[in-house]
Amino acid sequence: MKNILEYTTRLAQKIGDQILDSFKVSDLQATLKSDNTVVTIADITADQQLRSSLQETFPEDGIISEENDTVFPADKEYVWIIDPLDGTTNFSLGLHYWGVSIARLKRGRPDLAVLYFPLLDELIMATKGGGAFLNGVQLQVKGTHPNLHNAFFSCCSRTHQYYQLDIPYKTRILGSAAYGLCTVALGSAALAFEVTPKVWDFSGSWLVVQEAGGTILPLDGITPYPLKPGKDYGAIKYPMLAAVSQMLWDEAITKIRKK
């Protein structure tokens, strides 16, 4: 596992730094996909490079990604889930909250994750049973029920469009689903809520939050794992809530109501 984690870390940093070079270019060539999300040349190039490296290094493993195959492969013990550029809109507008997310699933469940956010200088990693780390320092969620007046609630731009909230925390919208969910593990937020993430948006963050001692589940409380062989995850969205504790998660879902 150590060698695989080291390889994945180097790969995430390499791709992230290459994307950073594109970030400095004035014309990022951003376009809209069919689902009205933004894609850039940097997304597509990074996806190709990630897939090529993973296929060469782990030819027996499967791969699904936001920009390519979205069907979970059958008969693969290990499957990589990649989001080559999480926070593309931020990236295209010159904002700093974007990065690379790589997760590996063993028999359909996350067992390794590396997320790299170049402009934040943050390398986040986790292994199943091995803890979560930020730049080499182990992560642990802060407290079980933080002071309501000083806690952050990380959410997305669609949150208030689709949900009525009775959350007394200070709201922050960061524009990166992967990073937003990780803020619970980082100790920045008591809660994090993403309305429409797909498996590549949260698989890395899922393991990070769990290994840091937090709780992360869809609003219905049913884990999406293990992912099912042959199932197309391209159109499946999971309203995802992360919290510093199960107690706070249970309390929060009573205060999040669909409009």
Q: Average pLDDT by consecutive 10-residue portion of the chain (259 residues)?
A: 93 94 62 55 88 97 88 96 92 91 98 98 98 98 65 90 90 95 95 96 98 97 96 94 94 92
Domain CATH code at residue 133:
3.30.540.10
**156 and 81 housed in the same domain:** no
Question: Residue 33 is part of which domain span?
Answer: 2-138
The pLDDT value recorded for residue 105 is: 98
Burial of residue 52 (CB within 10 Å: 0-12, 13-18, 19+) is exposed
**133 and 73 housed in the same domain:** yes
- For 143-177, give one letter per residue: b (16+ CB within 10 A) or e: eeebeeeebbbbbbeebeeebebebebeeeebbbb
Domain CATH code at residue 187:
3.40.190.80
**237 and 156 housed in the same domain:** yes
Which residue shows structure tokens 């619970």?
A: 184
**158 and 91 housed in the same domain:** no
The pLDDT value recorded for residue 39 is: 63
Is 145 inside a domain boundary?
no
Q: Is 56 helix (H, G, I), strand (E, B) or coil?
A: helix
Is 218 inside a domain boundary?
yes
**234 and 124 housed in the same domain:** no
The C-alpha R_g of the chain, in whole angstroms, comes to 17
The pLDDT value recorded for residue 145 is: 55
**129 and 250 housed in the same domain:** no
Calpha distance 178→184 (Å, rounded): 11
**118 and 164 housed in the same domain:** no
Query: Which of 154, 111, 132 is closest to 1 using CA atoms?
Result: 111
Calpha distance 172→189 (Å, rounded): 9
